[in-house]
Structure 1
Amino acid sequence: METQEKMKVALVLGATGGIGGAVARGLRRHGWIVRALNRSAEKAARAAPDIEWVQGDAMSLDDVLHAARGVDLIVHAVNPPGYRNWGTLVLPMLENTIAAAKAAGARIVLPGTIYNFGPDAFPVLTEEAPQNPKTEKGLIRKEMELRLKAASQAGVGVIIVRAGDFFGPGAANNWFSQALVKPGKPLTAISYPGRKGVAHQWAYLPDVAETMIRLVERADALPAFAVYHMCGFLDRNGTEMVEAIRRVVAKPDLPVRAFPWWLIGLASLFVPLFRELRAMRYLWREPLRMPNERLVAVLGKEPHTEIDEAIATTLRGLGCFDNHWENTHPRAVAVR
C-alpha cells in the first residue's frame, strides 16, 4: 500500500497583515497546512477558517514554541501593532522565531525591505550591497538580517526576499495606500512622494508571496542563508505608477499633487513616526533598481502580475471603486 506524502505545515506570524496574509493564502493554495498565532484567535478564525489559529502572542517565547511544534516553516511577517515601539519589540519577536525554528527544525522566511540600505547602495541595489541605513527602522532591519545569518550558521535555514514598496489587497500600511491614494472612495487625485525622472521600485504583495513560496519549494537546493531581490514593478521615471492608476480608473487627467513633505517635516518635531518618514525621503529622491538575476537563476522567472491588474485589485480592496463606478467604467473592471 502506498503511503500518502505527509502534508507540510507552516506557521505564519503576522497572518492578519498584508504580506503575512498573502503568504498564508498562497501556502494554502500550494497544499500546505497553515497555522497562525494570533492574540484574538477566535476572531481571526471567523475571517479565515481554512487556517489553524492558535491563541498567543509573538512576544511570548512559550506561545511561539507551542505554535511551532511540528512545523516545517516559519514565516516571520509580524510587526508591532500600529508599527509602534519597533526598538523594543521587533528584535525580541525575531529571537522567539529563531528559538522556535531551532526547536522544530524549521526554516525561516522573512519578507525583506530596502530600508536597511542607504543611498550609497543605489542606484543598482544588489543582494550583497553594503547596508548603511539612515533610519532607526533601517538599523533594526539590518540587525534582523544579521541575527538570521547567525542562526543559519547554527543550522537554521533562512530565506529572505527583499522587494520594493509593497502594494496590494489587504495591505494598509504602505506608501500606496497612505500616500498615493485615499482609501474608501473613488479617486479624485493622486499624491506622489517622488519626482519626475526618479526611478522607484514597487512590489505587488501576491507576487512577493508567490516568490517566497516557490523558493521554499526549492529550499533543499538553496544555501543556508539565501537572499534574493525581486524586480517587481519598476517605475522607471517616477510617472509610470501614476499613469497606470489613471488607466485603471479611466481618468487620464486625474490630478497629481506633490506629497506634503513640508507638513511631514513640521510634524516630525513632535511625532516619531513622521521623523522616520522624513528620514526615508531619500528613497523617493534617489533612483533605485533591484536586479533579479539571482532569483531568476533559481526560479526560471519571477512571478509577475500585470500592473493594471495589480492596481485594479488593490484599489478594489481599498474601497476606491463603488458599484456605480464599476458599472460605468468598464476599463476599470476589465482587468479582473
Structure 2
Amino acid sequence: MNNASPAPGSSSQLHVVLGAGQIGPRVADLLLARGHRVRLVQRTRRAPERPGLTSVCGDITDLAFAEEATRGASVVYDCMNPPYHLWPTQLLPIARGAVHGASKAGAKLVALDCLYMYGVPDGPMREDSPRRPCSKKGALRVDLEEMRLAAQRRGDVRVAIGRASDFFGANVPLSAWGERFYTRALAGKSVECMGDPDMPHSYTYVEDVARGLVTLGDREEAMGHIWHLPTAPAESTRALARRLGRALGVEVKVARVPRLALRAVGLFSPFVREAVEMAYQWDVPYVIDDARFRETFGVSATPVERQVADVATWARSRYKLAVPSAAPGIPAGAR
C-alpha cells in the first residue's frame, strides 16, 4: 500500500474510491482537481498512477483487505457494481466490505445506488417513494439499502446514499449509450430500446453522478440520508437519441426490441438474461425527482444541450467523425 506524503500545497485528506468502472475514475478526477489525495481500489488490476493518485487492487469482500485499502481515509466512495448475473452472490458482500472499511477508518461513506427498489413507479420517484421491487435485483437493492442504513443507525459509520437513473454520457460501455448504440447508429441501423422509446425516461448524466457523489462527501448534512442525484428533466429515449444524432450529423432511428427477442438473446448472454426483468422501466414514465438535492446543495443537472454537445465531441473523436456543418438544435458555441 502506497501511503506517500501529499504533494506540497495539496490537501492532507485522503479520499478512497472503490471501483474503477464507469463512475469511480470520474469521482477520482474531481477529487484530484480539488487537491485531495486519492486512492483508487479495484478488484483485478491497478490503474495508472499519477500525482496525487495511488492505486491498489484486491477483493473488498476480504475484510482484512477492505480495512487496509481504506486505512486513513476521510471519505470512502462505494462505486462498485458487479455484473448483473453476479449480484446474488457479490452485491451485498462487496457493500459490506465498503461499510467495514469506512467504519474502521472512521470515514464517511458515500454509496452510489440505482432506482430498482422502487419497482414500477406510479409517478415521479422521490427518496421517500415506497419500496415495491418487482424484480430480483430490486429486492436485493432493498436489502442493500437496509444494510447500509442499519450501520448508520448503529453508529458504525456515517452513510450518504446517492441514487441515479440509467446513465447517459461519454464512454459508458455498460449502458444503452455504449458501443452498440454508436456502431448501429453510424451504420444506419436502428438503435435498440428495451421498451417504449417514446415513454418519458430519466437519464442521469455520468458527470453529474460523479459531481453529486463528491458533493455528498463534502457536506456533513448529507450523512444519514438518501439523495437522488441531479438529473435533467425526463424526455423520451427517442428524443434524446435524436438530439445526439443531430449533434453527430446522422439520423438516429430507434426501435423497440420485442421482449421475446430479448429472452432469446438471453439464452446465450448472462447479461441480457438478467436485464430482461428490468425492461419494465421503459414501459411506463420513469422519472426521477431530484428536487431535494437541488434545494439542499444548490446543485442542478448539466443542461441536456450541454450534455449532448459534450458527448458528441467525445464520440466524434472516438469514432473519427467529421464535425457536421450544422447541428440543428445545438448552438454553434456549444459544439
Query: 1:28: which partner in 2?
Result: 32
What residue identity is the alignment partner of 1:211? Answer: G
Which residue type is aligned with residue 242 of structure 2?
Answer: E
Alpha-carbon separation, structure 1, partners of 2:196 and 2:213? 31
The alpha-carbon deviation at position 270 of structure 1 amounts to 6.0
The yes-or-no answer on 1:188 pairing with 2:188 is yes
Where do 5+ consecutive residues of structure 2 fail to align?
1-8
1:167 aligns with 2:168: yes
Cross-structure match for 1:208: 209
Letter aligned with residue 257 of structure 1: A
* Unaligned ranges ≥5, structure 1: none
Q: Does 1:45 align with 2:40?
A: no
Q: 2:18 is matched with which residue: 7, 13, 16?
A: 13
Q: Could you tell me how far apart the structure 2 residues matched to 1:65 and 1:96 are? A: 8
Quick one: distance in 1 between partners of 2:272 and 2:187? 25
| Paired residue secondary structure (1:281) | helix
SS of residue in 2 equivalent to 1:108: strand
Is 1:125 equivalent to 2:125 in the alignment?
yes
1:62 is matched with 64
Q: SS in structure 1 opposite 2:233? A: strand
Query: Take 2:314 and 2:259, find their aligned partners in 1: how far apart are those partners?
Result: 27
Cα distance in 1 between the residues matched to 2:142 and 2:258: 29
Amino acid at match of 2:48: A
Query: How far off is 1:53 after superposition?
Result: 0.8
C-alpha change, 1:69 and 1:321, in structure 2 (3 Å) is: closer
Does the 8 A contact of 1:185 with 1:321 survive in 2? no
Judged with a 3 Å threshold, the aligned counterparts in structure 2 of structure 1 residues 211 and 186 are, in CA distance, closer, same or farther, namely same
Rounded Cα–Cα distance in structure 1 between residues aligned with 2:36 and 2:53: 10
- Go from structure 1 to structure 2 and tell me whether the alpha carbon gap of 1:255 and 1:33 turns closer, same or farther (over 3 Å shift): same
Deviation at 1:41, TM superposition (A): 4.7
SS in 1 for 2:16: strand
**Residue 75 of structure 2: which of 70, 73, 76 is its match?**
73
Give the whole-Å Cα distance in 1 for the aligned partners of 2:228 and 2:122: 14
Per-residue deviation, 1:317 = 4.6
Which residue pairs with 2:229 in the alignment? 230
Report which stretch shifted further, 137-146 or 233-242.
233-242
Rounded Cα–Cα distance in structure 2 between residues aligned with 1:67 and 1:310: 34
Local SS of the residue matching 1:288: coil
**Are the aligned partners of 1:123 and 1:289 in contact in 2 as well (CA < 8 Å)?**
yes
> Percent of pairs identical after alignment?
25
Change (3 A) 1:319 1:60: farther
What's the TM-score, normalizing by structure 2? 0.85
Structure 1 equivalent of residue 89 of structure 2? 88
Query: Aligned pair in 2 of structure 1 residues 193, 274: CA closer, same or farther (>3 Å)?
Result: closer
- How many residue pairs were aligned? 322
